[in-house]
Amino acid sequence: MKALACELPYKNGIPLSRFSISDIRREVIASGIIAQISGTTLWRWLDTDAIRPWQYRSWIFPRDPAFLEKAGRVLDLYAGFWEGEPLGARDYVMSADEKTSIQARIPIHPTLGPLPQKPMKIEHEYIRGGSLAYLAAWDINRAKIFGRLEPKNGIKPFSRLVEQVMSQEPYRTASRVFWIVDNGSSHRGQSSIMRFKKTWPNAVMIHLPIHASWLNQVEIYFSIVQRKVLAPKDFESLDELKDRILKFQDRYDEIATPFEWKFKRKDLKNIMRKLSDQSIILKKVAQPYGTENTSPNL
């Protein structure tokens, strides 16, 4: 029964995307695995191994063969090291990215504030007031945020963000300023590294591996902006959207402290090992439930 619960239903000709308890009960009885069983008992047996086939989550497996190496360099910078050597007093680490297509949604009815035992109420329908891209750079050690709003993202808008940071102290005269970025079109590939270095000789661009935005610290700041400023999206105009984001940026900058980053190289290695083990398990589990399956995890 546990083997059946770990199967994708449609792989065995069952027209379902995922199992529920009642679906599993019907299949185990119909297939002759057991003559009769209650849903409660079946649930208790599956719960012993925390098997919940009715739940699912989106997932991206690392596909970059150099994932560990590229991600490891970033984790070293977070820990204060580069190529095995401690960072100097005049070295700085920036985490940068863009939050694109932020819409100014204008509700067709004014938002109502909260009342005793009643939450804020916001109209479901809205008028589109345009959108902006928010480009930001986070100094991971000084807890300083730099940002700008542009009509859209791209090489030129990102270059303006870099200039905004690098043209002021202490970055202008720093020994090195490491810029951690993803593989977005604004700063992708070797050409972006060369362009970056030519304009700012003391800047070092470091690319994360593909699908590793969760290792970019500025994403934590963006999540704060999403919760504190953009949910719900209630703005009278694009100018109000811009004004609120930039004022929040100033407000946050006054109280910001470095993020308590605890994820190290050893943690990354453990995750990569588990993913490798999981791939092996998934291949074993892919056998039809009517055949022998000797995986100890089942």
Residue with the bigger pLDDT between 58 and 48: it is 48
Q: Alpha carbon of 180 to those of 68, 247, 255, 266: distances in Å?
A: 16, 25, 23, 20
Please determine, for residue 157, whether its predicted confidence score (pLDDT) is greater than 50. Answer: yes
* Confidence check: pLDDT of 286 > 80: no
Whole-angstrom distance, CA of residue 181 vs CA of residue 208: 6
pLDDT of 279: 61
Q: Give the pLDDT score at 252.
A: 97
pLDDT for the residue 297: 36
pTM: 0.82
Euclidean distance between CA atoms 46 and 77, whole angstroms: 43
151: left (phi over 0), alpha (psi -120 to 50) or beta: alpha
Rg, C-alpha atoms of the chain: 25
Domain extents in the chain: 2-57+270-285, 67-255
The answer to whether 116 touches 224, Cβ cutoff 8 Å, is no
Report the pLDDT value the prediction gives residue 283, as an integer from 0 to 100.
54
Structural domain 67-255, CATH architecture: 2-Layer Sandwich (3.30)
Q: Is the pLDDT of residue 86 over 80?
A: yes
